[in-house]
Amino acid sequence: MIQPAENWQAHMKLSESAAFDVAEKSLDAFKIEIPSWGFANTGTRFGKFVQPGAASTIEEKFADAAEVNRLTGSTPTLALHVLWDLPNGAADVATIRDLERRFGVRAGSINPNLFQDQEYKFGSLCNPSEDVRQQALAHVLDSIDIAKKLGSRDLSLWLPDGSNYPGTQSIRKRIGWLEEALRTVHQHLAPGQRLLIEYKPFEPAFYHTDIADWGMSSHLARSAGDQACVLVDTGHHYASQNIEQIVAWLLHTGLLGGFHFNDRRYADDDLTLGSIDPYQVFRIFHEIHAASTDGLPLDIAFMIDQSHNLKGKIEATVQTIVTAQEIWLKAALVDREQLAAHQQSCDLVAAEELFRGSFWRDVRPLAAAWRETRGLAADPLAALRDSGYVERISRERAARSSSVSSYA
């Protein structure tokens, strides 16, 4: 056990001189999209806890997103939910454009809503009723039109469709309806736009979910067309599932379009990234860095999908971005040439120690130095607390927060 520790220490010493160069290159290129709903009052199926500083308007969401970007330097886009952020559809595009100019944050992925209307009780694009399927399809096509007008590349599609009891729905017919709908959606994409197809094993459907895993999502992407790919939500997997293996397969097949990052202990818990299993995030990031090192063409959207019910919303978002930056940098510092040599010779202990050594490395000084060279605060979370921003918006918004809906 002594020798692996010595190997790890030698690796760390050799890589230290070039570490800041790696930090500059990797962190400069690492951009993360944050969700508008992460700043609003949201809740569970049992209720919600209102925060006085929660955003209740799209202007407030953009203001909060701008504050996060000012502090972290890595969040230039804000994901928008059509029904919550553009309730009037394309008529609200001019408002969003004005907010982009005012706050220096661009509209990011556009997210249709196929789960809120009462008509979707038995499904949306997979509903047995053709009228409901057409209503859902029309909403998705309207969302594509909004994305075109805003210059947003990605349409992020999560489908809650499924059933709760055996025999109550034809699983196979629903596959066909979904394939047909997504081909139509794909036909309406502009050149350069993408359809990101998300999957989820369960909830709100508890017997079968129409897009339950990455294999189903991959099939639907191939069926839809070349501009469709898979969206991986790190909370949408069974317990102990090897997500980095899924990522490796999607990288290998060219179907990885993006991530919704969060963390989970039991199911889709919406916990802040890395709060439960930072090593898993590191393993995922390593697969992406390794694919880049191997020359694979990558076009991956890194997005956060978290709804903070107990933590302060802006604090939790800043904490998430800082954590993502640090783990991304840890994975960037893996000596992949040496690791490949250990893998080829099946030197298991040396390979694992090299790999784990990068994970255990304290990169916070490197990340802080990178921020300072970019004119950012060395510690974004401390800078947020010192700024008084949260206290100010809490005073200004307190009168409105109690009347905000559960999702908007």
Dihedrals phi, psi of 156, to nearest 5 degrees: -100, 115
Check pLDDT > 90 for residue 60: yes
* Alpha carbon 131 to its chain's center: 32
CA 51 – CA 308 distance, rounded (Å):
10
Which amino acid is residue 291, in one-letter code?
A: A
Check pLDDT > 70 for residue 166: yes
The pLDDT of residue 18? 86
The pLDDT of residue 9? 52
Termini Cα distance of the chain: 55
Check pLDDT > 60 for residue 401: no
Instruction: Select, from the ranges 3-7, 264-268, 353-357, the one with the highest average predicted confidence (pLDDT).
Output: 353-357
Whether 110 contacts 154, CB under 8 Å = yes
Confidence grade of residue 43 (pLDDT, cut at 50, 70, 90) = confident
CA nearest 110: which of 173, 154, 140, 64? 154
Q: Which residues contact 386 (CB under 8 A, 6 or more apart)?
A: none
CA nearest 254: which of 234, 228, 289? 228
CA nearest 33: which of 257, 345, 312, 278? 257
DSSP state letters, 241-307: --HHHHHHHHHHHT-EEEEEE-B-SSSS--BPTTSS-HHHHHHHHHHHHHHHHTT-----EEEE---
CA 17 – CA 323 distance, rounded (Å):
23
The pLDDT of residue 8? 46
CA 193 – CA 146 distance, rounded (Å):
12
90-145 pLDDT, tens per residue?
999 999 999 999 999 999 999 999 999 999 999 999 999 999 999 999 999 999 99
Confidence grade of residue 400 (pLDDT, cut at 50, 70, 90) = low
Q: Can you tell me the mean pLDDT for 67-94?
A: 97
CA nearest 264: which of 305, 283, 236, 303? 236
Q: Can you tell me the mean pLDDT for 316-335?
A: 98
Q: How far is CA 309 from CA 52, 117, 391, in A?
A: 12, 23, 17
The pLDDT of residue 4? 44
CA 379 – CA 368 distance, rounded (Å):
7
Q: Lowest-confidence range among 119-133, 313-327, 386-400?
A: 386-400
Confidence grade of residue 408 (pLDDT, cut at 50, 70, 90) = very low
The pLDDT of residue 42? 84
CA 147 – CA 189 distance, rounded (Å):
9
The three-state secondary structure class of 43 is strand
The pLDDT of residue 404? 46
The pLDDT of residue 10? 52
300-318 pLDDT, tens per residue?
999 999 988 899 999 999 9
172-196 pLDDT, tens per residue?
999 999 999 999 999 999 999 999 9
CA 69 – CA 388 distance, rounded (Å):
16
CA 171 – CA 218 distance, rounded (Å):
18
The pLDDT of residue 125? 98
For residue 175, give both structure tokens: 């596959």
For residue 368, give both structure tokens: 């802080």
For residue 268, give both structure tokens: 């889709």
Check pLDDT > 50 for residue 5: no
Q: Can you tell me the mean pLDDT for 214-219?
A: 98
